[in-house]
Amino acid sequence: MTFFLQACSQRVENADEVDLSSYQELSLDERQSPAHALDAMQTSEGLSVQLFAAEPMVVNPTNMTVDARGRVWICESPAYALGQDQIDSVGGRIVILSDTSGDGQADKKQVFYEGKDIHLALGIAVLGNKVYVTRSPNLLVFTDPDQDDIPDAIDTLFTGMGGPGDHSAHAVVFGPDGRYYFNYGNAGKEVRYADGRPVVDLAGNQVVSNGKPYHGGMVFRFAEGGQQFETLAHNFRNNYEVAIDAFGNLWQSDNDDDGNRSVRMNYILEYGNYGYLDEYTGLHWAHSRIGMHDSIHMRHWHQNDPGVVPNLLITGAGSPAGITIYEGTLLPEIFHGQPIHADAGPNVVRAYPVKTDGAGFSATVHDILHSKWDQWFRPVDVAVAPDGSLFVADWYDPIVGGGAAGDHTKGRVFRIAPSGSNYQVPLAIDGVEGDINLLLSPNESARYEAYQRLLEGGTEVLPILEERLAHEEDARSKARILWLAARISADASKYIKLATSDPDDRIRIIGIRIARQLNTGIIPDLEALVTDPSPAVRRELAIALRYELGPTIDQIWAQLALQHTGDRWYLEALGIGADLNWDARLKSWLSYLDSDAYSQNEREIIWRSRAQITGELLRTIIGNSTIPSHEHVKFFRAFQFQDATQRQQALLQILNLWHPQKEAINVMTLQLLDPTKVPLTPSFVRILDAALNRLKGTWQFVDLVENYQVKNRRKELLEMGAESFENKAAFSALRILATTNGWNGLALIEEAVEKNDSMAEAIVHGLKGITDRSVLQFLSDIMCDTVLQYRVRKRALDVLSSSWSGEDVILTSVQRSDFPADLKEPAAAVLFSVYRTSIHLEAAEYLDRPVNTNDDPISPIRVLVATQGNANKGSAHFTKYCQSCHIVKGQGVQFGPELSQIGSKMDKEGLYRSILYPNEGVSYGYETYYVMLDDGSTILGLLESETTDKIHLKLMGDIKRVVEKKQVVEFVQLSTSLMPDLSVAMSEEEIIDLVSFLTLAK
C-alpha cells in the first residue's frame, strides 16, 4: 500500500515531461500497475494530472459524479461481460471515494449500495438527499434523508428503457431551469412509469422508438417526480450522456456504426431530428437512397435530408462516453464554458471549444489528457469538483465496447488541475448570499443544493437575487440567476423582458426559453425579437413557435423565414417551428413572395417544408429548366417526406413534363413512384425499360428492379454481383437476388459458384452483410465443400466473419465433421479475435488457440492491440526471429515480403493476425509450392517463374533452386504459408514488442 500511495502523490504536467523511453523499458506488469499509471499521460499546457484512486479501491468504473462535499461517487461493474451466474453473485456497486487529507488522493472508501439490480449502471447523479442511478431498463432513485450514506428507500422513476448496455439510458443532469435531463441510445426503445404505464410526452406522443414519430436514441426533460415529460430530440444511435450549460444549451456525443470514423458531437436544437435512421422509411443510413452523400460521415447521419439538424463536429473513430460542461475558473480560460468529453476509443479526454456560427455553432478539438502509449487508458466519464478541478473515471481495460472486456480487476480515477493546486472544497457561506455563490459553483451537486434552498426561500430572496443580477457582469452567472428568479416570481414576464432586452444574445435566448417553459405565451413578450440582429435569437424564436397557433403566429414565422440566408441551422429551426402547422405557416410565407421564380433561399424553405402544397411547389421547381440540374436530386429527395397521395400525383405529372434533362428526371421519378399504384401501360413500361438500360451496373438499376419486381433482369443482377469486389451496387444486386421471394435467386447463385471459376469468389464476396438464414447456411456449405477452390471457401469464411450472425455460423461449422483442415487456422483467427468472449471459450473446445512458450493461451487480439510494447526490444526480436526471411530498412534477407513500410500498410490487428495465424492470408507472389521429384525428394519454396521446361524456386534463406520439369512428379500450390508459427517460439510480451517495432516501419 505504501508503494501505491507514493504513486498517487505523483503528477504529470505536460507532454514534454513524459519520459517515454523509460516507460517502454518497463515490463507489461509494471506499465499496467498503479505505480506507473501517470507515466504515459500527456496533459494540456498548464495542467497536471494526479492519480486519485486505483484498484483495488476502484474496479471497472462506468460512471462518476462528484458531490458538493468533494467526494467522488463511482458506479462499478465488476461483472461486466461475465456470465449471468457471476452477475447474480457480484452485481454492481456504488462506492464513495473521499480524500480526507487534501493531498489529492482517495484514502477512504464507502459502499453506498451493491446488488445485481445496478449491474452495468451507466449513470449517477447526487442531488441533495437523492441519488439518481440509471441502469436500464430502470431509472432508480435512492433516497437518503439523513444523509448517512445508507439509502433508506429505492424507487423506480422510469422503466422500460431496454436492457443494460451503453446504447440504453444514461445519467440524469440537473438544469439551470430546475428541470432534469437525460438520454438513451437506440437500444432504449421506450419509457414507462414504474407501474408499467407508457409515458406520453407533452407533445402527446408515446415515448417509444417506433418511427411514430420518434426514431432511435432520444434526449429527455422532466420536472420533479417525472412530471411534464418532454422528448427534446431523437434519431441518435448511441448518444452517451447529455450535458447542459448555464444558458440551457444541450450538448452530447453520438457514436457511429463502428468502422465509419463518424463519431459526432451535437448541439441540440430542441425537438430536432438528428438523422441516424431515414425519417421517412426508418431504414439504416447505409441503404441506398436518392441524394445520398458521397461522404460517409454526411451519409451516416442523413445530413443532406430535409428535417435533419446539422452536426456540430465529426471527431472520427472512437468510443465516446461521458460529457460535462466546464463552468469553473480553475482550469485555463480555453476550457471555460466548454464541453469536456471522455472518448475511451482513442484514449483521450478532450474539450470542444465552441463559438457561435450564424444560428448554430462551430467547434474545434483540444486534448486535455491523452495516453498515447498505454492504450488501456479508457476514460469513460468526466466530472467537475467544487474547486473546479476535473475528475476522470478510467475503465482501464484493453477493450472498450461491444459487450466485451479483457480485464475485471482494474480501474482508475484521475484529477486534473493546474500544477500546485491542492484538492479542497471551498468554504460555504451561510445565508442567501452564500447560496447564490453556490448556485454559480462549477459543481452540479452544489448548484442543485443552492437552487433548492433559494427556491424554498420564495419571494423573500427575490430582492437579493435582483440586486446581484443588477451588478453581475458574468453572463453565465447572470443566466443562472435569471432562470431561478423567473421560476420563483409570480410575474415571470418581468424577467423575460429583462432577459430579452439584454445586449448579450445568449441572455436574450434565455428569455425565449423561460417564456416557453413557463407558458407565458409568445405574444407580446417575444414578438419584438422577430427582427433581432442575432440569427441565434431568431432561431430560438422559430423553435418557440412549434406549439403556438393562430394567424399572428403564422405571420411571425413567415417573417422569420423571409430572413433565411442559407444557414442550415436556421433552416432546421424554421422547420421545427412549422412541423406541426406547415399548411398555415407556408401559406403565410408564400403570401409575401412576388412570383414562383423562387430564389435559392426560397427553394430551401420549400425543400424543408411538408405542407399539402409542397408537392406542387417541388414539381414547379423541377420543371423550371433554369434551375441548375445538380439541384434536382435534392428536390426529388424532398418528395419522399411529403404526403403519399400528393407525391404520387406530382410525380406522375413530372413524368409527362418536357425538360432538357428528361432522361435523368425520369429515372428519379421512377425511383419515387409507388409501383403498386402506377398503371403499367405500354408507354410506362417503355419508359421503365429505357431507364433500366441506361442504368445498368448502378445501384439505381438495382433499386428499380427491386421496386418494380422486374424478374427478367435476374441474370443482370448476377452479372453485377460478379463484377466487382467493392462495388456497393454489386452487394445490393446479390442481396435482392438471394432474398427476394419467388425469384429462386439463391439457386442461380449456387449454380454460378459451383462452376468454380473466376466469378465464384466475387459472387461469394458479394453476399457479405446478408444475414438471411438460407444465405448463411449456403456460406457454411461452401466452406465445407472441398471440391471448391480454397480461395472460394476462404472467402466464404471471411464473409461470415463480417457479422455476429456469421460468427455464430462459423462456430457451428467448425464443429462439423466435414469442416476442412485447411480452414481451421483461418477460422481460429476469426473466432479468437471477435468481441464476444463466450465465442473464444467455446471455440477453444474445437480449435487450437495460439499458446506462448509456456503453453499458456495467448490473449485475444483485441487485448494485444491495446497493449503497448517496447519497440527497442522488438527490434532485437526481429533480428532473432524474422531477419532470416524479411528485410526492414535494408537489414535482413529478401525471402518473404519486405517489411520496411509494413506499419503503413497494416494496422496492429493485421500484424498480430499475420504472426499468430500465418496461414490465414498469404500475400500474392508468396504462395507456398510443393514439388516432388522422381527420386522421391521434396521441395517447399516460392515460385519465382515457370518456363516450358523449368521451374524456378526461391527457398528459405534466399536460396535459388531450378528444377527440370521432366524430373517433377508432383507440383502443387499449397494453402499454407512458409512463415513459421512464431507464437510457439516467443512469449506474449515478445510478440507485443515485435508488433510495436513493426508499427514504426513506415
Residue 995's alpha-carbon distances to 828, 835, 869, 871, in angstroms, are 20, 21, 8, 8
pLDDT at 442: 98
Neighbours of 983 (CB within 10 A): 21
* Under 8 Å between Cβ of 373 and 40: yes
Q: How far apart are CA 405 and CA 760, in angstroms?
A: 38
* Under 8 Å between Cβ of 298 and 311: no
pLDDT at 6: 35
Q: How far apart are CA 212 and CA 227, in angstroms?
A: 22
State the helix-helix crossing angle for 632-639 and 600-608, rounded to 10 degrees: 20
* Under 8 Å between Cβ of 360 and 267: yes
pLDDT at 958: 65
Gyration radius from the chain CA atoms: 32
pLDDT at 17: 52
Phi first, then psi, for residue 98 (nearest 5°) are -125, 145
pLDDT at 110: 97
Q: How far apart are CA 516 and CA 221, in angstroms?
A: 14
Q: How far apart are CA 197 and CA 191, in angstroms?
A: 9
Q: Which amino acid is at 864?
A: L
Burial class (CB in 10 A: 0-12, 13-18, 19+), 490: exposed
- Listing DSSP states for 732-786 in one string gives HHHHHHHH-TTS-HHHHHHHHHHT-SHHHHHHHHTTTT---HHHHHHHHHHHH-T
Taking the CA atoms of 163, 165, 168 and 174 in sequence, report the sign of the dihedral they define: positive
* Under 8 Å between Cβ of 68 and 446: yes
Q: Which amino acid is at 708?
A: Y
Tell me the H-state helices in 846-981.
861-865, 871-881, 902-905, 908-916
- Listing DSSP states for 84-105 in one string gives HHHHHHH-EEEEEEE-SSSSSS
* Under 8 Å between Cβ of 217 and 167: yes
CA 614 to chain centroid, in Å, comes to: 34
Residue 474's alpha-carbon distances to 171, 178, 328, 332, 480, in angstroms, are 28, 20, 12, 17, 10
Consecutive sets of 10 residues in the chain, 1002 residues long: mean pLDDT of each?
36 58 84 94 96 98 98 95 77 96 94 96 98 98 97 98 92 99 96 98 97 97 98 97 99 90 97 96 87 90 97 95 98 98 96 98 98 91 98 92 80 96 88 96 98 97 96 97 97 94 98 91 82 98 96 97 99 99 98 92 98 97 92 96 95 90 92 92 92 91 92 91 76 88 91 85 87 90 94 92 86 94 89 76 86 73 84 86 81 79 74 80 74 80 82 74 88 81 77 90 79
pLDDT at 118: 97
